[in-house]
C-alpha cells in the first residue's frame, strides 16, 4: 500500500470532522449489528432500547447453528464460490492474455460482447437459467450454482485481466520469443508471475460477487441442504417472529471471511485497481 | 558467426503504408552494420523483421545460406538487445542472463559457466543476485547485453540500446559495445537515430529515410562523399550548411559560385574532381559546406580573399575547445527532408549557417566579419533530384 | 494499429491460432452460458408459458402490453430514479472522501480501512441491518430520534412510501460508496503533482484546483464507473427486496422485483421475460448514449 503521502496538498481543518462523521455513519450500523448479536432474547426487545447488552453473550452465535442448517449454508457458499472463483480466474487470465497479445478472428466481437454482457440485468437471465438448469437436472445443486456463478463473473474478470495484461509491456514477450520460448512457455514462465497482483484483485472481486449473490441462489435452490448463506440469512426474516440476534450473528459469520480475505489481500487489490484503472 | 543478406525487404501495412521499401543489404561475417535515420524512418521495423517479430511483406532474408522469412524468432538463432532492455523483472540478473540457455536445455553447471563468463565481460559479477529493479540504467543495459551474448548466436540485433542512458554513460558504452563485438566477432545489426553512434561504432553505416536506403558505406565515405542531400545533412554535427547557389563560368578555367549576394571563387581543381559539374554551368545547384570547413578569416590571414564570405554574426556559442558561430546569408535554404531537423529559422530568403571557429577567435555578436571557406571541401547537389554531382 | 497486408505468413497464422487457444475457454463459457441463455430468454418472451407444459406463441404481445402498462412504466420510473439517486450518492460521497483521504491527513490508513467496511458486507446483511435499524418499535433510529426529542411517537419508516424509498436509497449508498471512493482515490493519486502546483501558481485556490485539475483527471475513471454503476443499480434486487419487498404499495417496486414477482409468484414467465428484455435494451441504450456523449473514455 502506498505511503499516505499527499496527492493533492495539505489537509483542510474541516477534513477531520468530516471524516469522523463519515466513520460514525459507517460504524454505527456495524456496532449496532455487533451489539444486537450479543444480546439475549429478553434484552433484544427491551423497552427502552439497550444500546449495548448488559450481559453480552455468545448464545446467538451458537443457536444459529442449532436452529438452522447453518453449517450447510456455509459449506454450500464456500464450495460454490471457491470453485466458481477458481474457474473464473483461470479462464479469464488465459483469455485476458490472449486478448492483449494476439490478433485473431472474432477478437473485436468478443471484446464487444464482454462489455455488453455486463449490461444484462440478472433478472433477464434468471428465467432461462431456471428452465435450462431444470431441464439439465441441475436445479437445487451446487454444480448448477457453480455453473451459474461462473457465467456472470467471467465477463468482468476477463475485462479486468485484459486491462491488467495490457499494462505489462509486450517487449517482454518479444524478448522471451527471441530467447527461445513458444507462446505457452512465454505465458507461464515470463508473464504469469507478473500478473499475480491482477489475478489477486480479480479473484477477490469474483469471490465477493459470488459470496454476495442472492437472487440466483434464491431461485435455483429450494432444499435447505443446498441453500447458500445469503439465502439462508434472507429467509430468517420471513419467520413469524424474527430472531434478530441470531440474524445478526449469522450476518457477522457471513461477513468475516470477506474481511479476512480483504485484510490479507488489500495491498494487491488497491495497487492493481490503480494499475488497471490508470492504464485503462 | 554468419553472413546476413536482405534482398529487397519490404514492409507494407493494410492501409498501404510502407514502413520499409526495397531494402537490400549484405553483411560480411563479423561485420558491424549500423542502420541510422530519423525517428519513424523504418529502421526499427527492419530490425524487427530480421528478428522475426514482424512479418516480412516483401523480399527475402538470409542468414548464412538459409532463407529465414518464415521462421519463428526462437529458431532464427538471433539475439536482441531492446531499447527498454525488456529484462524479466521477477528474475535475478543471473537468471535473466541464463534464461536463453535454460530454455534451450543447457545443464545448470554449463549455464552457470556461461553466465559467469558473460557477467565478467560486462562487469556484472557483483550484481548477479539482484533483480533488475535494483539496478541503474547502465547496469540494466549491460544485463540485456549479457542475455544476448551468452548464447553466441549467429546474429546480434540491437534496437537503440543506448538511447535511454545519459550522455556521459553513452559515450563509455559506445566503446564497450564496439569492443565486445570485436572480441566476439558476431555479425551485428545496430539501429540508432544518433548519427554520432553510427559514425563511431559501425564498420559500415546504412542511412535510411522513409523506409528507403539512401546510402550504405563506411563512415568516412558517408562524411566525405554523401550521395544525396539527406545523407549530407544527416551525417555530421553540427549539420552541413545547405543552400541554393548558382555555378558561374567566368572563363576557361575560372569558376565562381553565387551564394545569395556573394560571389566566391572556386579553384579549377574542384571542378575537375567532379566530372558532372561542368554540365551545371550557369545553373542553380544545391551547395553544401560543413561548419568545420569554415574559419574566422582573421585567424587564417593567408586565405585568398575571393574565397571569403562577408557576414554578420547572429549567435555565438563558446564551447571551450571551439566556438560555434551562426550567421545568415542571403541564399535560399534547402530542406534536406529530415523530419527531426528544426525548421529553418531564416525564412525563405536567407539561410542560417553555422561555422566552427577555433577557440582563438574573438568575434562577437553583431560583428561584421569575413569567413574563410575551404572550397576544396564544397559539396554540390542537383537542385531537383538532390543527388550528389 | 494497422494490420499487415500481403500473404498471411505461417507465423502470423500460428499466432492467430495461439491467441484463439488462449481465449477459447472463456469464449466457450460466454457462448454457452451467456449468449445461449440470453437468446433463450428472448425466445421465451414470445410465448405465454409456465415453462412446463404450456407454450402459447403470442409474438410481441407482452412487449406491447408492458410498454403500455402504467404499473410497469411506473416501476421503470422508480427504478431509474433509484439508480440515479444511488449512483449520485456514491459519486458525491466517494469522491469527497477520496479527496479528503488523498490529502495529507494523519491516520490515513486507519480512516481508509474503516471507510471501506461497508463494501465488505454482503447485500443481504446490509438490507437486514438497516431494516432492523428502521424497525418501528425496536429500531435504533426511532430510539435515537426520540431521545433527542425530534419525534414523539414511533415512526414506521418502511411503511411510509416516501421514507421507504429514502431508506432503500440510503442503504444502497451506504453499501456501495467505497468502490467509487477507491477508484477515485486511485485516480487522484495518478494525477501528476505538478499540475496542482502549476494551478496554484496560476492563482487557483483549493476549490478551483479541484475543479480544473482533479475533476478532469478523474473523468476517465469515473466515466466508466458511472456507466457500470448505473446499470448495476438499475438491475438491483437484493437490498430493496429484503427491506420492503417492493412496497409499501409499490413505492419501491423496482423493475427487478416486478419481474421476479411476475415470474415466480404469478408464474407468467413469458411476460416476465419480455419485461426483462425491455430492461436490457434500456441498459444498452443508456450505455451507448453515455459513450456517445462522452467519447473520450476508453472502456
Q: How far, in Å, CA of B160 to CA of C246, rounded?
A: 66
B260, B308: one domain: yes
Which residues, in sequence order, are bridge partners of residue C86? none
What DSSP character marks residue A50?
P
pLDDT digits (tens, 9 = 90+) for B217-251: 999 999 999 999 999 999 988 889 988 888 888 77
Confidence of residue B96 (pLDDT cuts 50, 70, 90): very high
How confident is the model over B109-124, as a mean pLDDT?
91
Share of chain A above pLDDT 90, in %: 22
B32, B97: one domain: yes
User: How close A177 gets to chain B, by Cα (Å)?
Assistant: 6
Residue B202 lies in a domain: yes
B170, B302: one domain: no
Q: Degrees (nearest 5) of the Cα angle B343, B345, B350? A: 115
Q: With CB atoms and an 8 Å threshold, state whether A175 touches B80.
A: yes
| Torsion (CA) A239, A245, A249, A252 in degrees, nearest 10 | 100
As for how many domains chain C has, the answer is 2
Identify the residue whose cell numbers are 437445487.
A140
At residue B46, the pLDDT reads 93
Confidence of residue B24 (pLDDT cuts 50, 70, 90): very high
pLDDT digits (tens, 9 = 90+) for B280-337: 888 888 989 999 998 888 888 888 888 888 888 999 999 989 999 998 888 888 888 7
Residue C5 lies in a domain: no
At residue B347, the pLDDT reads 58
B123, B100: one domain: yes
* Domains contained in chain A, CATH given: 11-57 (no CATH), 69-279 (1.10.3720.10)
Residue B190's region, left for phi above 0, alpha for psi from -120 to 50, else beta, is: beta
Identify the residue whose cell numbers are 559500415.
B204
Helices (H), ranges, chain B: 43-51, 93-103, 108-121, 137-149, 167-184, 195-201, 219-224, 229-234, 268-273
Residue B68 lies in a domain: yes
Q: How far, in Å, CA of A99 to CA of A102, rounded?
A: 6
Omega before A48 cis (within 30°)? yes
Which residues of B are less than 8 Å from C11 in CB distance? 52, 55, 70-72
At residue A276, the pLDDT reads 47
Confidence of residue C6 (pLDDT cuts 50, 70, 90): very low
Residue B389 lies in a domain: no
Residue A280 reports pLDDT greater than 50: no
B145, B289: one domain: no
Residue where a domain stops, chosen among B234, B265, B297: B234
Q: With CB atoms and an 8 Å threshold, state whether A175 touches B52.
A: no
Residue C205 lies in a domain: no
B17, B81: one domain: yes
CA of residue C158 relative to chain centroid, distance: 22
Residue where a domain stops, chosen among B203, B234, B265: B234
As for how many domains chain B has, the answer is 2
Residue where a domain stops, chosen among B200, B219, B234: B234
Nearest CA to C95 out of C193, C9, C4, C179 is that of C179
Which residues of B are less than 8 Å from C6 in CB distance? 12, 55, 57-58
B284, B198: one domain: no
Residue C112 lies in a domain: yes
B312, B262: one domain: yes
C29, C100: one domain: no
Q: With CB atoms and an 8 Å threshold, state whether C9 touches B55.
A: yes
Share of chain B above pLDDT 70, in %: 97
Q: What is the DSSP string of B198-211?
A: HHHH-SEEEEEETT
How confident is the model over C59-75, as a mean pLDDT?
90
At residue C2, the pLDDT reads 41
Report the mean per-residue pLDDT for chain C.
Answer: 85
Residue B346 lies in a domain: yes
- Structural domain including C165 reads 65-193+219-293
Q: With CB atoms and an 8 Å threshold, state whether A4 touches C108.
A: yes
How many secondary structure helices (H) and strands (E) does chain C include? Answer: 14, 2
C26, C169: one domain: no
Q: With CB atoms and an 8 Å threshold, state whether A175 touches B74.
A: no
At residue B215, the pLDDT reads 93
User: How close A103 gets to chain C, by Cα (Å)?
Assistant: 6
Residue C156 lies in a domain: yes
Q: Indicate the pTM of the whole model.
A: 0.82
Q: With CB atoms and an 8 Å threshold, state whether B58 touches C6.
A: yes
Higher pLDDT, A13 or C175: C175
Q: How far, in Å, CA of B145 to CA of B141, rounded?
A: 6
B329, B248: one domain: yes
At residue C89, the pLDDT reads 96
Residue B236's region, left for phi above 0, alpha for psi from -120 to 50, else beta, is: left
Residue B79 lies in a domain: yes
Q: How many residues in chain B?
A: 389
B209, B340: one domain: no
Residue B387 lies in a domain: no
Burial class for C62, CB neighbours closer than 10 Å (0-12, 13-18, 19+): buried
Residue B388 lies in a domain: no
Which residues of A are less than 8 Å from B78 in CB distance? 178
Which residues of A are less than 8 Å from B86 in CB distance? 169, 171-172, 174-175
A178: contact with C, CB 8 A cutoff:
no
Q: How far, in Å, CA of B375 to CA of B138, rounded?
A: 44
| ipTM value | 0.82
Residue B253 reports pLDDT greater than 80: no
Residue C51 lies in a domain: no
Nearest CA to B255 out of B267, B269, B273, B244 is that of B267
How confident is the model over B188-198, as a mean pLDDT?
92
Q: With CB atoms and an 8 Å threshold, state whether A274 touches C188.
A: no
Residue C199 lies in a domain: no
Q: Answer whether A96's CB lies under 8 Å from A165's CB.
A: yes
Residue C294 reports pLDDT greater than 70: no
Q: With CB atoms and an 8 Å threshold, state whether A10 touches C104.
A: yes
Best A13, A23, A29, A151 member to test C by mutation, with max C CBs in 10 Å, is: A29
Q: Listing from the earlier edge strand, what are the strands of the sheet with B284-289? A: B262-266, B255-259, B241-249, B284-289, B379-382
User: In CATH, what number is assigned to the domain containing residue C156?
Assistant: 1.10.3720.10
User: Dmax of chain C from CA atoms?
Assistant: 84
Residue C206 lies in a domain: no
Residue C25 lies in a domain: yes
User: In CATH, what number is assigned to the domain containing residue B25?
Assistant: 3.40.50.300
B114, B27: one domain: yes
User: How close B15 gets to chain C, by Cα (Å)?
Assistant: 7
B194, B251: one domain: no
At residue A4, the pLDDT reads 38
- Structural domain including B53 reads 4-234
b/e per residue, B42-63, with b = 16+ CB within 10 A? bbbbbbbbbbbbbbbbbbebbb
Residue C260, C-alpha cell as written in the block: 421476479
pLDDT digits (tens, 9 = 90+) for A181-194: 888 889 998 888 99
pLDDT digits (tens, 9 = 90+) for A100-158: 988 888 888 898 888 888 777 677 788 899 888 988 888 888 899 999 999 989 998 99
From C3, which residue of chain A is nearest by alpha-carbon distance? A103
pLDDT digits (tens, 9 = 90+) for C147-156: 888 777 777 8
Higher pLDDT, C13 or A90: A90
A278: contact with B, CB 8 A cutoff:
no
Residue C1 reports pLDDT greater than 50: no
From A27, which residue of chain C is nearest by alpha-carbon distance? C114
pLDDT digits (tens, 9 = 90+) for A12-69: 778 888 888 999 999 999 998 888 888 887 777 777 677 787 788 888 888 888 878 8
Residue B252 reports pLDDT greater than 80: no
C1: contact with B, CB 8 A cutoff:
no
At residue A89, the pLDDT reads 95
Helix axes C161-189, C70-102, angle to 10 degrees: 40
**Which phi and psi angles does C65 have, rounded to 5°?**
-60, -45
SS3 state of residue B197: helix
Which residues, in sequence order, are bridge partners of residue B204? B33
Amino acid at each position: 500500500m502506498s505511503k499516505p503521502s499527499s496527492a493533492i496538498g495539505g489537509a483542510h481543518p474541516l477534513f477531520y470532522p468530516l471524516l469522523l462523521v463519515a466513520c460514525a455513519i459507517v460504524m454505527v450500523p456495524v456496532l449496532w449489528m455487533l451489539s444486537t448479536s450479543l444480546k439475549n432474547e429478553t434484552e433484544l426487545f427491551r423497552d427502552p432500547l439497550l444500546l449495548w447488552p448488559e450481559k453480552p453473550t455468545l448464545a446467538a452465535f451458537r443457536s444459529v447453528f442449532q436452529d438452522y442448517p447453518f453449517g450447510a449454508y456455509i459449506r454450500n457458499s464456500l464450495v460454490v464460490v471457491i470453485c466458481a472463483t477458481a474457474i473464473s480466474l483461470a479462464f479469464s487470465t488465459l483469455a485476458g492474455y490472449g486478448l492483449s497479445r494476439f490478433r485473431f478472428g472474432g477478437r473485436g466481437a468478443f471484446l464487444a460482447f464482454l462489455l455488453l454482457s455486463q449490461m444484462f440485468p440478472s433478472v433477464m437471465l434468471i428465467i432461462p437459467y431456471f428452465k435450462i438448469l431444470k431441464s439439465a437436472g441441475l436445479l437445487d445443486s451446487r454444480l448448477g450454482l457453480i455453473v451459474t456463478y461462473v457465467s456472470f463473473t467471467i465477463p468482468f474478470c476477463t475485462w479486468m485481466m485484459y486491462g491488467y495484461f495490457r499494462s505489462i509491456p509486450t517487449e517482454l514477450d518479444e524478448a522471451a520469443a527471441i530467447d527461445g520460448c513458444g507462446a505457452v512457455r512465454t505465458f507461464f514462465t515470463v508473464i504469469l508471475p507478473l500478473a499475480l497482483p491482477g489475478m489477486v484483485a480479480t479473484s477477490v472481486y469474483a469471490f465477493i460477487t459470488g459470496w454476495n449473490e442472492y437472487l440466483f441462489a434464491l431461485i435455483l435452490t429450494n432444499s435447505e441442504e443446498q441453500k447458500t448463506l445469503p439465502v439462508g440469512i434472507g429467509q430468517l426474516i420471513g419467520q413469524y417472529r424474527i430472531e434478530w440476534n441470531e440474524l445478526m450473528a449469522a450476518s457477522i459469520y457471513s461477513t468475516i471471511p470477506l474481511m479476512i480475505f480483504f485484510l490479507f489481500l488489500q495491498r494487491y487489490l488497491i495497487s492493481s485497481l490503480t494499475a488497471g484503472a490508470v492504464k485503462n | 558467426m554468419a553472413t546476413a543478406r536482405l534482398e529487397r525487404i519490404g514492409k507494407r501495412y493494410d492501409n498501404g503504408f510502407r514502413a520499409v521499401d526495397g531494402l537490400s543489404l549484405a553483411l560480411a561475417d563479423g561485420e558491424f552494420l549500423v542502420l541510422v535515420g530519423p525517428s519513424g524512418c523504418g529502421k526499427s521495423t527492419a530490425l524487427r523483421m530480421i528478428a522475426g517479430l514482424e512479418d516480412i511483406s516483401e523480399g527475402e532474408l538470409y542468414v548464412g545460406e538459409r532463407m529465414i522469412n518464415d521462421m519463428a524468432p526462437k529458431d532464427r538463432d538471433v539475439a536482441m538487445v531492446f531499447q527498454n532492455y525488456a529484462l524479466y523483472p521477477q528474475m535475478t540478473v543471473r537468471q535473466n542472463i541464463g534464461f536463453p540457455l535454460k530454455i534451450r536445455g543447457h545443464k545448470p553447471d554449463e549455464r552457470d559457466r556461461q553466465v559467469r563468463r558473460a557477467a565478467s565481460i560486462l562487469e556484472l559479477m557483483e550484481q548477479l543476485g539482484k533483480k533488475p529493479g535494483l539496478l541503474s540504467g547502465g547496469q540494466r543495459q549491460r544485463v540485456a547485453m549479457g542475455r544476448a551474448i551468452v548464447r553466441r548466436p549467429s546474429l546480434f540485433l540491437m534496437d537503440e540500446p543506448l538511447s535511454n542512458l545519459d550522455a556521459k554513460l553513452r559515450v563509455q558504452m559506445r566503446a564497450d559495445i564496439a569492443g565486445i563485438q570485436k572480441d566476439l566477432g558476431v555479425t551485428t545489426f545496430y539501429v540508432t537515430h544518433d548519427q554520432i553512434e553510427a559514425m563511431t561504432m559501425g564498420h559500415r553505416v546504412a542511412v535510411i529515410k522513409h523506409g528507403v536506403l539512401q546510402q550504405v558505406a563506411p563512415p568516412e565515405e558517408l562524411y566525405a562523399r554523401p550521395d544525396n542531400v539527406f545523407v549530407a545533412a544527416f551525417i555530421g554535427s553540427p549539420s552541413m550548411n545547405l543552400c541554393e547557389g548558382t555555378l558561374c563560368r567566368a572563363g576557361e578555367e575560372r569558376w565562381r559560385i553565387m551564394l545569395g549576394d556573394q560571389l566566391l571563387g572556386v579553384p579549377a581543381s574542384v571542378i575537375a574532381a567532379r566530372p558532372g559539374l561542368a554540365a551545371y554551368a550557369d545553373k542553380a545547384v544545391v551547395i553544401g559546406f560543413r561548419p568545420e570547413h569554415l574559419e574566422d578569416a582573421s585567424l587564417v590571414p593567408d586565405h585568398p580573399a575571393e574565397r571569403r564570405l562577408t557576414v554578420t554574426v547572429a549567435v555565438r556559442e563558446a564551447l571551450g575547445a571551439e566556438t560555434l558561430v551562426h550567421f545568415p546569408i542571403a541564399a535560399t535554404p534547402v530542406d534536406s527532408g529530415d523530419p527531426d531537423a528544426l525548421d529553418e529559422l531564416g525564412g525563405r530568403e536567407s539561410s542560417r549557417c553555422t561555422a566552427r571557429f577555433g577557440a582563438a577567435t574573438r568575434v562577437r555578436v553583431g560583428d561584421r566579419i569575413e569567413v574563410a571557406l575551404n572550397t576544396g571541401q564544397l559539396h554540390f547537389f542537383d537542385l531537383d533530384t538532390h543527388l550528389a554531382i | 494499429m494497422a494490420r499487415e497486408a500481403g500473404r498471411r505468413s505461417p507465423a502470423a497464422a500460428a499466432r492467430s491460432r495461439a491467441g484463439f487457444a488462449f481465449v477459447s475457454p472463456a469464449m466457450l463459457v460466454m457462448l454457452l452460458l451467456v449468449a445461449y441463455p440470453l437468446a433463450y430468454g428472448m425466445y421465451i418472451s414470445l410465448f405465454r408459458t409456465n415453462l412446463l407444459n404450456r407454450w402459447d406463441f403470442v409474438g410481441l404481445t407482452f412487449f406491447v402490453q408492458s410498454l403500455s402498462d402504467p404499473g410497469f412504466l411506473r416501476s421503470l420510473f422508480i427504478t431509474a430514479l433509484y439508480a440515479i439517486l444511488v449512483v449520485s450518492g456514491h459519486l458525491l460521497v466517494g469522491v469527497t472522501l477520496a479527496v479528503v483521504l488523498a490529502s495529507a491527513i494523519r491516520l490515513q490508513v486507519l480512516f481508509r480501512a474503516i471507510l471501506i467496511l461497508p463494501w465488505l458486507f454482503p447485500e443481504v446483511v446490509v438490507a437486514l441491518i438497516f431494516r432492523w435499524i428502521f424497525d418501528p418499535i425496536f429500531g435504533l433510529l426511532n430510539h435515537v430520534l426520540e431521545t433527542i426529542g425530534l419525534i414523539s411517537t414511533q415512526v414506521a419508516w418502511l411503511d411510509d412510501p416516501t421514507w421507504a424509498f429514502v431508506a432503500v436509497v440510503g442503504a444502497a449508498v451506504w453499501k456501495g460508496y467505497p468502490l467509487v471512493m477507491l477508484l477515485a482515490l486511485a485516480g487522484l493519486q495518478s494525477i501528476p503533482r505538478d499540475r496542482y502546483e502549476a494551478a496554484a501558481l496560476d492563482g487557483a485556490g483549493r476549490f478551483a484546483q479541484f475543479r480544473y485539475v482533479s475533476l478532469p483527471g478523474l473523468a476517465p475513471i469515473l466515466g466508466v464507473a458511472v456507466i457500470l454503476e448505473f446499470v448495476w443499480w438499475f438491475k438491483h434486487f437484493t437490498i430493496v427486496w429484503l427491506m420492503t419487498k417492493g412496497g409499501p404499495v409499490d413505492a419501491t417496486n423496482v423493475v427487478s422485483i416486478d419481474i421476479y414477482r411476475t415470474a415466480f409468484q404469478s408464474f407468467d414467465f413469458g411476460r416476465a421475460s419480455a419485461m426483462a428484455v425491455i430492461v436490457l435494451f434500456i441498459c444498452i441504450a443508456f450505455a451507448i448514449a453515455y459513450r456517445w456523449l462522452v467519447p473520450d473514455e476508453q472502456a
